[in-house]
Amino acid sequence: MSLYGMMRTGVSGMNAQAARLGTVADNIANANTTGYKRSSTEFSSLVLPSAGGTYNSGGVSTSVRYAISEEGALQFTTSITDLAIGGDGFFVVQDSSGVSFLTRAGSFIPDSEGNLVNAAGYMLMGYDYANGAPTPVVNGFDGLMPVNVLQGELLAEASTSGIFTANLDSDAAISPGPFPSTNSATADYTHKSSLVVYDDLGGEVLLDFYYTKTAANTWEVAVYDQAGATAGTSFPYSSAALSTVTIDFDATSGTLSGTSPTSISVPVPAGQSLSIDFSGMTQLAYEFNVGDASVNGNAPSKVESVEITNDGTVFAKYENGTLEPKYRIALADVPSPDELKPISGNVFAQNSESGVVTTGFAGSGNFGDIVSGALESSNVDIADELTSMIESQRSYTANSKVFQTGSDLMEVLVNLKR
């Protein structure tokens, strides 16, 4: 065996252990880094060909591997925008130059413009609801935009549909007229109710509903804009009825007959056409009683907070309790996550060895669920790292002894000439 070869082998061993200590140092330093994936140094032997009874010492080569597919434990927080993934997948984030990366570090907070950014400054990407429910571009990052939770927007929604369910007293007397649909000052009616609806700008509009028994099992429903009512008496209104319909009941069951209309369409002043569902109306021997009266729409309301569901939908929660979907967070994955290329900022870039990126939504396919108010911890085990450190230290010392022995023998050889 060559003395120089022995010394080179010792150097190779020391370099390998130094590389291992480097990964251990990084792991320990990032033990508390959100979403950090531990690295490790793997060894493989280098054998040189030997012949004629001599042995040529080789050495050791190293390669660095990353446990990217290994999940860390979840730690729950009080911030709604702290996000973790329970299962496979990565958040798609983007740097200031528009380059997309993958990450499991979900400590997002709004920046000055309302965009969600993590501790390294990468923006969270998703699809918006501007054109309806989004669909992912499965083989790329096209269509993604920064998830923005700016809370200055006002929401006003015009009423377009509603439900009115009530019992009309079957023992009520038949009205002698004139009926409310005539808008006469002496109009006679059996029951009255009012509903608050909303116009295009979110303004409240009060509608008066008149229910008049015009014949056995037959009722007229007339709707007026309360703003046009005569003070103190209602009738006559300043304008004709907004809508009128006649409904019929089955004399046996007390429910609407098969030929009766089940809804009424009302043109809301300065608003939309409002369809009120009457299908649950009854005519029983009981006083007038309203069971359900509700309409959609709302007055202008400011965003109060955001909510993020397990499927990654980001909702704006308004002061009136309305939840409006704004974005759906995109998740991505690759065939070989452990081959992704780590980049500063705890993000990963795809390459030829990791495979092509597939994009989708949480809870679909092989993607896990998004957990709001939680962060994924580093997958570093301090005990394992300290054990590896001690092993590397001992091995480094042993390899240095090999080098030192070779050096001593070389000195003996040189001194033979004296």
- Domain residue ranges in the chain: 3-67+379-415, 79-153+304-373, 159-296
pLDDT given at position 1: 52
Rounded Cα distance between 157 and 210, Å, is: 26
Rounded Cα distance between 413 and 109, Å, is: 68
Residue 361: Cβ-neighbour burial (10 angstroms; 0-12, 13-18, 19+): buried
CA dihedral 79, 83, 86, 88 (to 10 degrees): 180
Residues 6 or more apart in contact with residue 72 via CB below 8 angstroms: 35, 36, 104, 376, 377, 378, 379
Rounded to 5°, the CA angle 51-53-57 comes to 70
Place of tokens 């990791």: 354
- C-alpha neighbours within 13 Å on the C-beta side of residue 384: 10
Per-residue tens of pLDDT for the chain, all 418 residues = 577 777 888 888 888 889 999 999 999 999 999 999 999 998 888 777 776 667 777 778 888 899 999 999 999 999 999 999 999 999 999 998 999 999 999 999 999 888 999 989 999 999 999 888 898 888 889 989 999 987 666 778 899 999 999 999 999 999 999 999 999 999 999 999 999 999 999 999 999 999 999 999 999 999 999 999 999 889 999 999 999 999 999 999 999 999 999 999 999 999 999 999 999 999 999 999 999 999 998 888 887 888 999 999 999 888 777 788 999 999 999 999 999 999 999 999 999 899 999 999 998 888 999 999 999 999 999 999 999 999 999 988 988 888 888 777 888 877 886 6
- Are 162 and 277 in contact by the 8 Å Cβ rule? The answer is yes
SS3 of 385, please?
Answer: helix
Q: Indicate the CATH number of 159-296 among 3.40.50.150, 3.40.50.300, 3.40.50.2300, 2.60.98.20.
A: 2.60.98.20
Element (H, E) at 40: strand 39-46
pLDDT given at position 248: 97
pLDDT given at position 103: 95
What sign for the dihedral angle of Cα 285, 291, 296, 297? positive
Radius of gyration of the chain (CA): 38
- In sequence order, what are the beta bridge partners of 169? 284
pTM over 0.85: no
CA distances from 403 to 8, 17, 217 (A): 8, 14, 108
pLDDT given at position 43: 86
Rounded Cα distance between 203 and 268, Å, is: 11
Q: How many Cβ atoms sit within 10 Å of the Cβ of residue 166?
A: 19
CA distances from 71 to 105, 252, 313, 376, 380 (A): 12, 65, 23, 8, 10
User: What secondary structure does DSSP assign to 221-239, as a single string?
Assistant: EEEEEGGGPBTTTBPSPSS
